Amino acid sequence: EAGVAQSPRYKIIEKRQSVAFWCNPISGHATLYWYQQILGQGPKLLIQFQNNGVVDDSQLPKDRFSAERLKGVDSTLKIQPAKLEDSAVYLCASSFRVAGELFFGEGSRLTVL
Q: How far apart are CA 51 and CA 112, in angstroms?
A: 31
| Contact status: 55 vs other proteins (CB under 8 A) | yes
The edge-to-edge listing of strands for the beta sheet with 19-24 is: 5-7, 19-24, 75-79, 65-68
Closest to other proteins by CB, 86 vs 108, is 108
DSSP character at residue 3: -
Among 73, 76, 87, 103, which residue interacts with other proteins (rule: CB under 8 A)?
Answer: 103
Number of residues that bind other proteins (CB under 8 A): 24
Tell the smallest beta-carbon distance from residue 16 to other proteins (Å).
Answer: 28
Using CB under 8 A as the binding rule, whether residue 28 contacts other proteins is answered as: no
- Contact residues for 7 (Cβ-Cβ < 8 A; gap 6+): 21, 22, 108
Name residue 103's amino acid: F
56 forms part of the interface with other proteins (CB under 8 A): yes
Contacts with other proteins, 61-100, as mask; x by CB under 8 A: ------------------------------x-----xxxx
